[in-house]
Structure 1
């Protein structure tokens, strides 16, 4: 589904990605983890074409992404921070995105599930952070793309919305979609991810399931396994 070969990305003198080789197969939930500055967001931006690699290749569905933009129609993306005009109403924003990407009726069920009906005529600038995140999730999931990329999707969500998000992600996985997630909430990752990709200093330090991660680190729980890898690297 996504194949990355020898990916490098430099911003000025700062080398962020240092030869990333990674294959994400079709179907399943993959968590891209790592400490701040490890290259997670840069990797995602390179996949999306929002950042151009300094070196290396990226293939989506066996097609190179360089100088091609149509592959982005295959991806639904939730950014870590989404900034929309504060004077727009929620209803207007959803209608605008549908005009840009194509008609869909899936937003109606999502609005109901995320309990957004009371906010549809509210301006985005007047919403709480958690409510904005629900709106962003509706914008992400209301289209039927085979790849979904979620950058910190749980930010600001209340327990009920968090529960629905988990159900929604598992439903997408069951339908054969490929879901990439970044998150600092290890309990969320442990519950939902089938495979872990751990980045350290711009390189893939580990790729495998949680059981393999525990075995590699000799730890019985996920959080301590992650902590052990960090300590090993920075010792």
Structure 2
């Protein structure tokens, strides 16, 4: 599904990616983790074609993304911050996206899931951050693409909406999709992720299960395992 070979990227003098190699050739939930500035967002944006690497190769669905942008229609993406037009109504935004990507009736189910009915005729600029995130989630899941990328999907969600999000992610996993998630909420990651991809100083430091990470770091819980890595590399 995704193959990254020897990826490098600098922003000015800052060497963000330093020879990243990553291959995801099966469905499942992959949590892309790392400290701020480690390169995880740059990797995601490189996969999406939003960042152009200095060198290296990215293939998505066996297609080199340098030569073809059509692969993007096979990826559903939830950005960390969604900048919606403030004067547009929620229902108008949904219609606009369907006009661009193709018609679907799955938005009706998702609107019910996240209880957005009372907000459909409200302008986006009047919504709270949590409600905007629910709108963002509907836009992400309303198309049945084989890959989903979720950048901090839990931001602003109330406990009930968080439960519904986890159920939705589990349903998409059962369809054989590859789901990439970034999150600072370790309890969420521990509950949903099949594999951890931990990025440190622009390289893949660890890839594997949470159990394997605990074994590697000799820690009994996930949060302490992550902390152990960060402490070791800050000394």
Same fold (TM over 0.5): yes
Note the aligned Cα RMSD (angstroms): 0.6
Question: CA separation in 2, counterparts of 1:82 and 1:41?
Answer: 15
Partner of 2:13: 13
| Residues 15-51 of structure 1: per-residue CA shift (max 9 Å, x gap) | 1111000011220000000010001111100000001
Partner of 2:118: 118
Q: Does 1:34 align with 2:62?
A: no
Partner of 1:221: 221
For structure 2, the 5+ residue unaligned runs are none
Partner of 1:2: 2
| Residues 55-87 of structure 1: per-residue CA shift (max 9 Å, x gap) | 100011111111311000110000000101100
Question: CA separation in 2, counterparts of 1:183 and 1:143?
Answer: 22
| Residues 71-119 of structure 1: per-residue CA shift (max 9 Å, x gap) | 0011000000010110000000000000000000000000001000000
**Which runs of 4 or more aligned residues in structure 1 lie more than 2 Å from their structure 2 counterparts after TM superposition?**
none
Q: Does 1:195 align with 2:201?
A: no
Partner of 2:166: 166
Question: CA separation in 1, counterparts of 2:76 and 2:37?
Answer: 24
Question: CA separation in 2, counterparts of 1:81 and 1:71?
Answer: 23
Structure 1 counterpart SS, 2:204: strand
**TM superposition shift of 1:14:** 1.6
Partner of 2:234: 234
**TM superposition shift of 1:209:** 0.5
**TM superposition shift of 1:10:** 1.1
Question: CA separation in 2, counterparts of 1:64 and 1:234?
Answer: 36
Question: CA separation in 2, counterparts of 1:74 and 1:217?
Answer: 36
Partner of 1:186: 186
Question: CA separation in 1, counterparts of 2:77 and 2:174?
Answer: 19
Structure 1 counterpart SS, 2:233: helix
Partner of 1:24: 24
Aligned residue pairs total 235
More divergent stretch after superposition (66-75 vs 160-169): 66-75
